[in-house]
Amino acid sequence: MLKTLAQALHSGAVRVVDLSQTLHSRTPIIPLPPQYGQSAPFRLDEISNFDERGPAWYWNNLSCGEHTGTHFDAPIHWITGKDFPNNTTETIDVQKLVAPACVIDVSAETRDNPDYLLTIERVEQWEAEHGRIAAGSWVLMRTGWSLRTDPSEFLNLHDDGGHTPGGHPDLPGFLARERDVLGWGTEGVGTDAGQAFAFPQPFPCHATMHGNNRYGLASLVNLDKLPPTGAILITPPLKIRRGSGSPCRVLALVET
């Protein structure tokens, strides 16, 4: 089986698609109200660059918050997931870091509605066309939001908070309990909609997904290059002790 996969990768019968943002000093990060702690922006400090500091080598120090750029959310990221065993980036079962993906394309709906919420009904419509979401799958919401390369347009902040698409409050429970998904991923800066702080249960894609020991992926790109079903995601976060998440080079295997 693995020999066949290796041959398919070599021949191009299977493509590797990069679903990750490039990290830089202007990579958008979630801003919280000023009374809360803030995530630091990505920073790269040069150590040496073939100069007197190191004549034959180039390298850097880097720093950022765990949830910067394309990133993985572990269950311990949210209070609802803090008591599960193996809920941190260094203890998650690595078998779960390679899994199938279902991609639900709502880019037409979000084009003129930045506050669009994916509903259970819309997911069931997708299933009627593509089949039931398989247990252990990632569900990825394709919105086209990653095409907003300007950080301010990407965050889309207004006086009343962010305006970005996400899941309807009822959706995470359905995905976790009725479909037994592995996790939920979006193109936005976080896994929840921009206005999710005002939902009856705030931030349900965090609270409910992590409260069911599931995972999150945010700031994904190139979801338009994936089929509705059939892709395999590779999502290993950095192995950080008690890590709540990590920037992640998310890759997808896709048959050509």
Are 68 and 218 spatial neighbours (Cβ–Cβ below 8 Å)? no
Q: Domains in the chain, please, with CATH?
A: 2-24+66-255 (3.50.30.50)
- Contacts with 141 (C-beta within 8 Å, 6 or more apart), sequence order: 104, 106, 118, 165, 166, 167, 184, 185, 186, 187
Average pLDDT over residues 179-208: 98
- Residues above pLDDT 90, as percent of the chain: 100
> How confident is the model at residue 85, as a pLDDT?
98
| Res. 19 pLDDT band, cuts 50 70 90 | very high
**pLDDT at position 165:** 99
pLDDT band at 234 (very low <50, low <70, confident <90, very high): very high
Q: What is the pLDDT of residue 177?
A: 98
Beta carbons of 21 and 218 less than 8 angstroms apart: no
Q: Which residues contact 132 (CB under 8 A, 6 or more apart)?
A: 179
Identify the pLDDT of residue 247.
98
Confidence of residue 129 (pLDDT cuts 50, 70, 90): very high
Average pLDDT over all residues of the chain: 98
DSSP state of 177: I
| C-alpha neighbours within 13 Å on the C-beta side of residue 13 | 7
Report yes or no: 123 and 87 within 8 Å, Cβ to Cβ.
Answer: no
The pLDDT of residue 240 is 99
* Catalytic residue annotation: 77
Span 55-68, average pLDDT: 98
Quick one: pLDDT band at residue 136, thresholds 50, 70, 90? Answer: very high
Indicate whether this model's pTM tops 0.85. Answer: yes
Quick one: pLDDT at residue 88? 99
pLDDT at 36: 98
